[in-house]
Amino acid sequence: MNAVEKIAAMTHPLVVAIRMIKSAMSAAACAIGGALIAAPCYAVLAPAGDANTSTSATSARAKQPAASEDAAIRSFRVNIPQAALDDLRKRLLATRWPDQETAADRSQGAQLAELQELVRYWGSGYDWRKAEAQLNALPQFMTNIDDVDIHLIHVRSRHPNALPLIITHGWPGSIFEQIKLIGPLTDPTKYGGRAEDAFDVVIPSLPGFGFSERPTEAGWNLDRIGRAWTVLMERLGYTSYVAQGGDWGAGVVQAMGRQAPAGLLGIHSNLPAVITPEVGAALGGDAAALAALSEKERSAVNDLGAYLQNGGLAYLVMMGARPQAVGYGLTDSPAGLAGWMLVHSGFTNWAYGKDHKQSPTRDDVLDNFSLYWLTNTAASSARIYWENRGRDLISSAAQKTSEISVPVAITVFPDEVVRAQEAWARRAFRNLIYFHEADQGGHFAMWEYPELFAAELRAAFKSLR
């Protein structure tokens, strides 16, 4: 294992657990993750309201005093100051560009001509107010849990006996990644489903992301977030519910699975911790371990290995080691923010908006970038890597999947870097109730194919209703 791989193994949360496979292999960090984000400090809370107190994202994060015992759920609206949008455009137009890459593809990062075109549109044609209106058309709330204000979208289905579902995003995703799921989940009869397939949907922003408050102390790891989500669901009045997550959200729902709160009926993941010791050994090149795999399993291992060999997780190493250092530059340059985020594997097949049939669209992606920028969450969102260093997200040992007793459902998408195999999943999770391989989609599957993703959730949780 070279020096970079050793650093990655120690710092990135999605690497194959070194502790788990040390005796079986000499290599192998494996990971998926997110890209970074940032910006000046604009957005947030001005009090106004009744029993469900209203708050609005209007001032420079001038949040209400919050008490740890305050269980109020306050309504929330977004209204970014025009001065913040003017500043963003000014910075985009004033971008100082590097020289052009010397490779003919994206192997050195986002290509100069593509990024320049995207940034020109961001600064001159893109309209944040449309994104803001999209958010404000949904019921949004703020509530304080463990001394941190948590932002959430909460949409109740019109259908009776809807199953409550909490969905957790990852990084570089956000609530924008999940908005297109709300309709198919809450009103399935409009999308080919049945009334009895309906969900009540809760979509919180992770602490330090979007409109959620930035923690001022260390300790907000996956376990703490999982406990906070249990409090949230109880506070919303739900006595039974299910949970879904991909990327960092997968780590959160696995933490909830280990904690097994009384109301949690089951979890669904599209990035499950399925790298068992045997798979880790194969990833490290152990001949006997590779020989024991099927051809399909070897293909999945080889593709993941190639991703790592080509530097797929190199850009994530720094965030796990020094998130504050990364945050300075990305907080100062929106073009730098975009270039950093676009290195993420979820954007590998993205056409920068040139394919008008592709989702996410150019505006969808810029909604996401702008959310990170306008809430000034470059450093705070990156700290989730630092908080969970050594807790490899796809390692069954690091995620202690043997301790998860609640029912587990898994969907695998073909363009995801880690393509979980059913045999691996059954070894990792003792109560696997659903496993399915979708025919399209990648890391941002819910953003790309929301109706397909919603259909997967209906099928995954059908037996738990």
Which neighbouring-strand residues pair with 245?
168, 269
Which neighbouring-strand residues pair with 164?
200
Amino acid identity at 176: F
Which is it for the CA torsion 204, 207, 213, 219, positive or negative? Answer: positive
Residue 428 corresponds to which tokens in the numbers above? 């990792």
Per-residue pLDDT of the chain (465 residues; tens, 9 = 90+): 433 333 344 434 344 333 333 333 333 333 333 332 223 333 344 333 333 344 566 533 444 444 445 899 999 999 999 999 999 999 999 999 999 999 999 999 999 999 999 999 999 999 999 999 999 999 999 999 999 999 999 999 999 999 999 999 999 999 999 999 999 999 999 998 899 999 999 999 999 999 999 999 999 999 999 999 999 999 999 999 999 999 999 999 999 999 999 999 999 999 999 999 999 999 999 999 999 999 999 999 999 989 888 888 877 888 999 999 999 999 999 999 999 989 988 998 899 988 988 999 999 999 999 999 999 998 899 999 999 998 889 899 999 999 999 999 999 999 999 999 999 999 999 999 999 999 999 999 999 999 999 999 999 999 999
Angle between helices 314-321 and 3-11 (to 10 degrees): 50
Tell me the domains of the chain and their CATH numbers.
43-300+395-464 (3.40.50.1820)
The predicted model scores a pTM of 0.87
299 φ/ψ angles, rounded to the nearest 5 degrees: -60, -45
Q: What is the distance between the alpha carbons of residues 156 and 164, in angstroms, rounded to a whole number? A: 8
